Chains A and B, each alone.
Chain A
Amino acid sequence: MWIYEKKLQYPVRVGKCDPRLARLLIEQYGGADGELSAALRYLNQRYSIPDRVIGLLTDIGTEEFAHLEMIATMVYKLTKDASPEQMKAAGLADHYVNHDRALYYHDAAGVPWTSAYIQAKGDPIADLYEDIAAEEKARATYQWIIDNTDDPDIMDALKFLREREIVHALRFREAVELLKEHREQKKVF
């Protein structure tokens, strides 16, 4: 099971009322390489992967939910007090007519989230390489979002999230190495 912590992993600040940015950030909420995809991908792969890497998938998968909550916080703060006119000016009229200010799992272009974004081959090497690729793609996405904002506060939280992708990618690469070296070892006490 999971236990909720009533705090964010990182202090998210939004310095500027710029609902336009919410539209871009939603890519990491319900997009192919977003945080929802990441969390569900890793936690789901646990059931068919060697025991040696289940702990890692559990811990990274759980951390991804903390990142999802950070993105949600940014979108929430950018849209909660926006008028319909401001939403429209931000390119969010399409979103507004369907969802008002509710968050929804879709990407920056409005395409709804689909499980087709995540892979589960049941082959440990194939799955871990999928995970490494996902982390690098998410890192790149954060870069392109950072390029599209001039709010130093939002940038600060996005840089944190981008760096986490790098650390996760290294851990998945280490997991591949562990599986390469794995031999059935008799425990000697």
Chain B
Amino acid sequence: MEKGQNVDQWREWDAYYSPFDPCSPRQKYYLIPPDQMTTFQSAGLKQYSPHEALKRGTLWPDLYSPYPRGAKEGTR
């Protein structure tokens, strides 16, 4: 781990699209949160300042997960 914030946490997938489906197809995606990128946090990881930590909900940048999904969000 310990790269949580640097890698894209989102994965895209396509659902089968039938010619008889009533709505236009939508890109599907899901999140792999940073807690899945490790099994045990290493000691001495870089930290946010107290106010930044409170704002983000974690003391460690490696555990931070932004939401909603950024620029790539949307339809195709």
List the interface of chain A (C-beta within 8 A of B): 10, 135-136, 139, 142-143, 146-147, 159-164, 166-167, 169-170, 173-174, 177
Contacts of A146 in B (CB 8 A): 67-68
A159 lies within 8 A of B57 (CB): yes
Instruction: Confirm or deny: B47 has a beta carbon within 8 angstroms of a beta carbon on chain A.
Output: no
Are the C-beta atoms of B33 and A166 separated by less than 8 Å? yes
How many contacts A-B (CB < 8 Å)?
A: 55
Contact in complex: B58, A147 (CB < 8 Å):
no
Q: Given A10-B54, A174-B41, A162–B35 Cβ distance below 8 Å?
A: no
Most B Cβ at <10 Å: residue of A135, A142, A170:
A170
Please, how many angstroms separate the alpha-carbon atoms of A29 and B43 in the complex?
34
Partner of B65, one of A147, A161, A166: A166
Give the 9 A-B CB pairs with smallest separation, nearest first.
A163-B57, A170-B35, A169-B35, A160-B57, A166-B33, A166-B35, A174-B40, A167-B58, A177-B40
**In contact, B39 and A139 (Cβ under 8 angstroms):** no
User: Which one of B35, B41, B63 has the highest number of Cβ atoms from chain A below 10 Å of its Cβ?
Assistant: B35
**Nearest-Cβ distance from residue B30 to partner chain A, whole angstroms:** 9
Interface contact A177-B39, CB-CB below 8 Å? yes
